[in-house]
Each structure stands twice: as structure tokens, then as C-alpha cells.
Amino acid sequence: MSEFLHMGGYAFYVWTSYGLAFVLMLVLFVSPMIEKKRLIAGIARKLRRERREK
Amino acid sequence: MNIFMRFYHRLASPRHFYQIAGQWIPWLGAISLILLAWGLYEGLLVAPTDYQQGESYRIIFIHVPAAWMSMFIYLIMAIAGAINLVWRMKMAEVVLVSSAPIGAVFAFLALVTGSLWGKPMWGTWWVWDARLTSELFLLFLYLGIIALHGAIEDKRTAGRAVSILALVGVINLPIIHFSVEWWNTLHQGSTVSVMGGSKMDSRMLRPLLIMSFAFKFYYGMILFMRARNEVLDRERNTSWVRQIAEGKAS
Amino acid sequence: MTPIRKKRLMLVGLMVGAVGIAAALALTAFNDNLMYFYSPAEISAGEAPSGHPIRVGGLVVEHSVNRQDDGLTVAFDLTDNNKTIKVNYTGILPDLFREGQGIVALGSLNDKNVFVASEVLAKHDENYMPPEVADALKTAHNDGIAQQAARSLAQ
């Protein structure tokens, strides 16, 4: 196991690459979910305001 | 009308696109996740050590699929740009705009993992050879498209402007691909080719291809998620979007 | 297709074509600047610019590597299988540096026609395989050479 993590001495380079890929792909996945919540909340807020003004 | 044309017209309508994409997202995500797990297992545990580069070559399973994606997504954007310019199709514009940040992330990932690979193997983080420079230019093209789209208020004008930029920049794709053949570069030549044999052991090639398919499905999922948001934003004054907002909010 | 769409399609085609031609012309004009390194043959033919440091790329000749006692200074021959030049370098070598390996060195020729390098980078090839396969290939290659030699001797 520790030999696997050691990556023949290249652990820093290999695991930084995989880690960065993981983080970036996670950010790319989560950000549109947050954006969708924000969008729908914004549209709903506008609808409520319109109804109050009527 | 045949089935294909009907499907095409349904996807071209923002409302139907929103529904169909919503149904596809979980499947694309599941397939991508399975392929990622399989590719990582094969790449990190099954694939043998390289005779020359030892274990450091395992960066290839991120680096090469990311670099392919950065070019593949740009090609999709250029095609969407051409469709938008000729047929004025709204959904092509949505695909173009939604793809740009994904492509930028993959170009960035390809550059950084390449750098992390270059340091131990070549002895340097960066060189200004034709391959590295043209890939950096691709990242700047992505950033330029994102910035240009953000800078123009009117959505239709912005869409047309980024379509032209995406189309003009497509010239960079063959330059990236052939840079290692046309000029002397520090970067090595192509390992995997569609025609003729690949210069790689099959146990190494398999995870590389699996990872590249995993990235393709991942791109499909993120593209649909982003495109759905873009559609919601553009159609915010239509009754169907209002219904969605009411259902979720009240 | 309606005439207006046909016209737009033609304009799009023209635009891509024009940019393509412009790019091809620009890249041809700057061809020399896009070359990352020169080969030893080009340098001995005087095709490389003088006056500023240049890069030379080639293979490290087998049994030519000479390390000095300080452990940092190294002298070796570099070849493109056509011409060979001598290289001197003081500094840290990349992990992949070894005899037979492709490298790229930055520096300039001194008056004794020795290339004095300030930076040495390794250039690896596009082949990936496990060590046992590499050994098998090498053995097969050596066998092939031995057979060829035997055949030419027999003739």
C-alpha cells in the first residue's frame, strides 16, 4: 500500500495531478447546481413581487 | 417527418431541451462515474510500470484525456458557432456558451498536469515549444470567449460575437495536433493514433481510452447542467419557466 | 436551404479559409522561431544563428558520458546519427538523462567547437511499455543486428 502511494518517488507529481483533476471536476459539477438554485430563487422572488404589486 | 428530424426539432426548442437534458443528466453521470472508477483502477493498479519513466507516466491517464477534451470541446463549440451563424439557432448558442468554461478547465488541467509531468521527466516545468505554446493559446481562446460573452450586454449580439471568435480560433486545433510533427519540440510525438497502431502497451492503452470516454460522458453531463441554467435564464419570462419557479419556491 | 442561409454558409467558409491561409503564412514565416532546437548537423553546417544561446537536440552517444569528480560537471557527445558535437554541462541533470537518451541542451559553441550548455532537458519518446517488453524488444533488435552481421559476413 505505501509502495503504491510512493509512486516510485514521483508521489508528489502523480497525486497532485490526480488531486487537481478531482477538485476541478467536482467544482465544475457543483457550481451549476448552486447556479440553478440561485436562478430559480431569483425568478420566484420576482414572481412574488409582481403578485404583491397587482 | 422522420424520427431524427423530430428529435432535432425537439432539442432545438428550449423547453423540450430542458426536459430531455434533465432526464439524461443522471444517466450521463452514472456512466461517467462507472467509467472513471474502472479507468482509475486499470490505470493505477493494473497498468504496468513504464520501462523509461517508471511510475511518473501514470499522469498520462489524466493529462492526455484532458488535452483531448480541451480540443474536442473546442471543436463542438466551433461547430455550434457555425450553426448559430448560418441558421441562427438559439440552442447552438447555448451549447457554445455553456461549453466554454468546461473546455477552459480541461485545457488548464492539461497544461498543469503536463507541467507536473515535465518537471520530473524533462527537468523543467515549462518550455516555449510549439505544442505547449499552442495549447496555452487554446486556454486563452477559451478565456477570450468567456470574457467576450460577458462583456456584451445583448445576448444575441454576444452569441454572434463568440460564434465568430470560436470559428476563427478553430485553426489552432490542427496546429496543436500537428505541432509535434511540423516543428522540433521538446514534447514527444503522438502515442495514440486512430489510423495504424498505437505506440503503447495494451494494458496502458486500455485505461487511457476508458478515461477519455469517462471524460466525454462527464462533459455531456456538465454541458447539460450548464445549458439548462442558460435556458432558464434566457426564458425567465416564459410561462413554463415561471411554473418551474413557482413549483420550487412556493 | 434558403439563399440567405447559403450566403451565410459561404461567408463562414470564407472566413475560416482566410484565417487558415493567414495562419499558414504566418507560421511559415516564423518557421525558424518555432523550432525548439537545432540538430547537431544543422549546427555544424552553420544553419543555427550565432551571437545568442541556441538549443541543440539529439541522442547522447553510448559510452561518451564523462563525469568530473565534483559530480556536477559532465561531458558527453550528442548525435543525430549524422553529425556529432561535444557538450559540456555543469548542473543538475534530469532523471531521464542517460546514454542513448534524447536530450535538448541550451548554450553556445565555444572557440574549440565544444557546446557549453547552461541547461539540459530530457526528451523522451512516445512509446510506453513495461520493462520486460522493452528488454524483449532490445534482445530481438540485437539478435536482428547479429543475424544481419552474420548474413553480410557470409556473403
Write a three-state SS string for B15-52.
HHHHHHHHHHHHHHHHHHHHHHHHHHHHHHHHCCCECC
Whether B11 is in a domain gets the answer no
The count of structural domains within chain B is 1
Q: Where is A20: in which H helix or E strand?
A: helix A11-53
**B184 to C129: CB separation less than 8 angstroms, yes or no:** no
Residue B134's domain spans which residues?
23-190+201-249
Chain B interface, Cβ < 8 Å to C: 48-53, 57, 60, 82, 85-87, 120-124, 127-130, 164, 167-168, 170-171, 175, 182-186, 188-191, 199-201, 203-204
- Span B187-217, pLDDT tens digits: 998 888 776 677 888 899 999 999 999 999 9
Fold (topology level) of C36-123 = OB fold (Dihydrolipoamide Acetyltransferase, E2P) (2.40.50)
A17–B55: do the CB atoms touch at under 8 Å?
Answer: no
Give the confidence band of C145 by pLDDT, cuts at 50, 70, 90. low
| Residues of B whose CB is below 8 A from C38 | 184
Is the complex ipTM more than 0.90? Answer: yes
pLDDT for B1 equals 55
B105 touches chain A (CB under 8 A): yes
Q: Is residue B150 part of a domain?
A: yes
**DSSP conformation class of A7:** G
Distance (Å, rounded) from C-alpha B21 to C-alpha B178? 35
The string of pLDDT tens digits covering residues B72-100 is 999 999 999 999 999 988 899 999 999 99
Q: Examine residue B3 and state whether it is found in any structural domain, yes or no.
A: no
Instruction: Measure CB to CB from residue A43 to each of B63, B117, B245 and give the nearest one.
Output: B245
Is C37's Cβ below 8 Å from some Cβ in B?
yes
Q: How far is CA B208 from CA B74, B167, B205, in A?
A: 21, 29, 5
Angle between helices B202-234 and B60-87 (to 10 degrees): 40
**Out of B49, B86, B121, closest to residue C122 by CB:** B121
Separation CA B122–CA B144 (nearest Å): 30
- A38 — contact with chain B (CB < 8 Å)? no
| Chains in touch with A (≥3 Cβ pairs < 8 A) | B
